[in-house]
A and B are shown apart, each in its own frame.
Chain A
């Protein structure tokens, strides 16, 4: 996986993962790995700053919730602004990839 590609699209990826339901850090990492067949293997240390950045930008909400065993966990959930941003980024992405694919199409 090309880290440069990841860097530019981290927001899109995280927001996409959070679309369905609130998740906590480890869950997000696990899901990213699973659903993409191991393609996205985050360096966990950079995940939390990214999540906190999204929280600061009010694209996600975060709250602590007790867990059945062990310490409480911080759950992140998409806000309305977050879903709007996700939609926007999806459009951007589709436009981008569309354009690149157009270059490969037979002339």
Chain B
């Protein structure tokens, strides 16, 4: 009794395989009714129960054939069955599948890394602009410029300068700042920022040999604009501050060092060991100390500076609004400097920022080109592997076709497998790509010592990578899938 039930159940399951939901239930019920009625009829005719059942099932035919007939009608294009089949392939042929996944992953990893790098390039450029040092141009006497003799591009220093001692020293005055601004339209800001050091007597007792002073900058109004100085509390300098002095902006760290309360705005600080014993009232707190172009210390204080018109300056400092303007500004200032001071003044930007003057974009494009080449290679690889994949399953395809699967269904089956493999490859590739970026990140921070270049993992790059993986795999799986569909049953079953 139980056996009969199981037999019927097995038959019904085979006949309705791949069907879902209502269709499955309907076909099932219909077939079951047919089987039972037939069996009963045979029993009446004198057969035993078991025999009757067998005969009924035999008359109905092989469940696979019934299924094939039904499947052709009911199976929608993308069924879970196809997906299950795809995953089964994955498990059944792990090496082959793994190869395809790796091929995809390689291409995707490269593209992801490049996409993120290009994005990084954009971000770095933006963050760059925020650094004042990246936008600064200095005009100073040739003798005092340590970089004057080391490949500045655009300023020529003649050899005789090296021995020149009889010429009057170059001196700058605040008026030159204004003149230069007029002569160089690409320059946005002109300012003076002179370093100052302050200390208190009690620090000497801490370390008599090296009493560490606290450093600050004395600046003209344009500096605040150029450096985009902001305060977290209090306010920036007012124009009157530049006339009177006696105020300062301090960083939180500096305030702590000076033993000021948590909100130091309004507190007054007096320093020692300077002739005029300057005391300052804090009017604003800076979010962070200002880092100098090179060196480990930082400027914690900003004080207003209003030089008298006859003051001599060691150098003139200018800045552009965006690093992009740097080359033009530099050229203009060079012309101006040459006009006013002959060859005695040199115009320089920060070393290491020189590369801003050469197109970074070109580098990015070259990287992208190489990445594309890598992707093309990967894609061809994928097609190759998928073809092999298909050819291996020749017999399988033949059998499936003989049972009634249409070419369309076979093709779709392979496409779904391509999607599954592509997705797997995409995930691996994106992870690998970010791994590459992390390594690049590490390299950058070691080489240039600048945290300003750290890579952020852009979700855009991840999406691009995934979409690309699936797209490429499907695209390059189309040809193999079409080949699979075209397999002739006769050829495939030869030798079965």
Contacts and interface: CB of A to CB of B under 8 A. Distances in A.
A26 B30 contact: no
Given A26-B38, A45-B60, A56-B73, A71 B32 contact: yes
A45 B60 CA distance: 4
A74 B38 CA distance: 15
Interface stretch (A11-19, A46-54, A83-91): A46-54
Contact of A74 (B29, B61, B62): B29
Interface in B20-34: 26-27, 29-34
Nearest to B70: A49
Most-contacted residue by chain A among B30, B36, B66 (CB, 10 A)? B30
Could you tell me the dominant secondary structure of chain A's interface residues? helix
Interface string A1-45: 000000000000000000000001110000000000000000111
A70 B33 contact: yes
Could you tell me the dominant secondary structure of chain B's interface residues? helix
A71 B69 contact: no
A25 B34 contact: yes
A80 interface: no
Given A56-B73, A74-B26, A48 B31 contact: yes
A56 B26 CA distance: 13
A50 to B, nearest CB: 8
B438 interface: no
Interface residues of B, number: 23
B37 interface: yes
A48 B37 contact: no
Contacts of A73: 30, 33, 37
B72 A49 contact: yes
A26 B34 contact: yes
B206 interface: no
A49 B36 contact: no
A45 B62 contact: yes
Given A24-B33, A26-B37, A26-B38, 4 more contacts: A26-B34, A46-B66, A52-B70, A70-B37
Interface of A: 24-26, 43-46, 48-50, 52-53, 56, 64, 70-74
Interface of B: 26-27, 29-34, 36-38, 40, 59-62, 65-66, 69-70, 72-74
24 contacts: A25-B34, A26-B37, A45-B60, A45-B61, A45-B69, A46-B61, A48-B27, A48-B30, A48-B31, A48-B69, A49-B66, A49-B70, A50-B69, A52-B69, A52-B70, A53-B73, A70-B33, A70-B36, A70-B37, A71-B29, A72-B29, A74-B26, A74-B29, A74-B33
